[in-house]
């Protein structure tokens, strides 16, 4: 992975975290919600598909953050 790619990925994660945090309101709640969703996405027995379009190529953490930033809480 190039330095530019790493930098862009880090910046995008930062934006996703900020958006999701604004929706959720508390860092502790965000950590719990994201952790639960990542477990759902990665579960071998009860796999839950992404709820967003264009999730191909995104890591599970990115998918969870994107989903949280888009939902209405």
Q: pTM of the full predicted structure?
A: 0.78
Mean pLDDT of the 34-63 span? 88
Q: What value, to the nearest 5°, has the Cα angle with vertex 69 and ends 21 and 51?
A: 140
Nearest-angstrom CA–CA distance, 13 and 35: 15
- Cβ neighbours around 52 below 10 Å, total: 15
Cβ contact 37:52 at 8 Å: no
Instruction: Provide the mean pLDDT of the chain.
Output: 83
- For 2-33, the pLDDT digits (tens) are 666 665 666 677 888 888 888 888 888 988 99
Helix, strand, coil % in the chain, rounded to nearest 5: 65, 0, 35
User: What percent of the chain has pLDDT above 90?
Assistant: 18
């Amino acid at each position: 992975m190039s330095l530019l790619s790493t930098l862009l990925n880090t910046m995008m994660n930062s934006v996703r975290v900020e958006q999701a945090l604004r929706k959720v309101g508390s860092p502790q709640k965000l950590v719990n919600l994201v952790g639960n969703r990542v477990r759902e996405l990665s579960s071998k027995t009860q796999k839950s598909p992404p709820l967003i379009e264009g999730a191909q190529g995104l890591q599970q953490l990115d998918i969870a953050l994107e989903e949280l930033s888009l939902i209405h809480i």
